[in-house]
Amino acid sequence: MALKTIPYDTAEFLKTDEDMASYLNACLEESDPALITYALGVIARAKGMTQLARETGLSRESLYKALSSEGNPEFATVLKVIKALGIKLHAKAA
């Protein structure tokens, strides 16, 4: 009997703003830029990429590319995405 698997998509489980903030905070703790970019992409998909594209002035295709695990977006793009997602970053002394 073959084992059947289904794809797991974190975006399906991010239902509230609090869920999204907790997910991003967990990824930020890893200090991995690629993971943080990917996490922003997951949150963007959970919120709706079309709406995000409208709010940032960027195309959906460029957002998908920039926020993929292979993406390397400019910091200005990251800031636009964060603002459009309604996320606020705070600095804290270590």
Whether the pLDDT of residue 1 is over 80: the answer is: no
90 belongs to a structural domain:
no
77 belongs to a structural domain:
yes
Whether the pLDDT of residue 76 is over 90: the answer is: yes
Number of domains in the chain: 1
Annotate 50-75 with b (16+ C-beta within 10 A) or e (fewer): eebbebbebeeeebeebbeeebebee
Domain with 74 in it = 14-85
The tens digit of pLDDT for each residue in 22-40 reads 999 999 999 999 999 999 9
Whether the pLDDT of residue 94 is over 80: the answer is: no
Average pLDDT over residues 70-91: 91
Whether the pLDDT of residue 89 is over 90: the answer is: no
What mean pLDDT is reported for the chain?
92
